Amino acid sequence: MATAETTKTLNHVYKLIPLFINLPPKKMWLDYDKDADVFYINFKKPQRATDSEMLENGVLLRYRGTELVGITITGSIKEMNLMNTKG
């Protein structure tokens, strides 16, 4: 039986689906380090990046050759104010 917390989580996931299915990569792995406030998106597992590029906004793009294999966003929640604390 789904709890209120499970229902809340599902509602958040349902809102994300349209955003994710429009991204070019077919598969991705997501991880958020709450203590460091860093969000990781990987398009290959394992990532094995051979090069990286730091953008001015603190976003790190990771490449294997010319293929984008990962994105690291520092200060992803706190500085970008993306967290909806009301649920």
Q: Span 63-79, mean pLDDT? A: 86
Tell me the residue range of the domain where 32 lies. Answer: 25-87
The 8-class DSSP code of residue 48 comes to: -
Q: How do residues 30-58 score in pLDDT, each as one tens digit?
A: 999 989 989 999 998 888 999 999 998 88
Domain-embedded: residue 37: yes
15 membership: H or E segment, kind and range: helix 4-21
Q: Could you tell me the end-to-end alpha-carbon distance of the chain, in angstroms, rounded to an integer?
A: 21
Residue 49, Cβ neighbours under 10 Å: how many?
Answer: 19
Task: Give residue 87's pLDDT band: very low, low, confident or very high (50, 70, 90).
Answer: very low
Domain-embedded: residue 9: no
CA distance 69 to 54: 14
CA distance 10 to 33: 21
- Domain count of the fold of the chain: 1
Structure tokens at 62: 């990771």
Domain-embedded: residue 59: yes
pLDDT of residue 26: 75
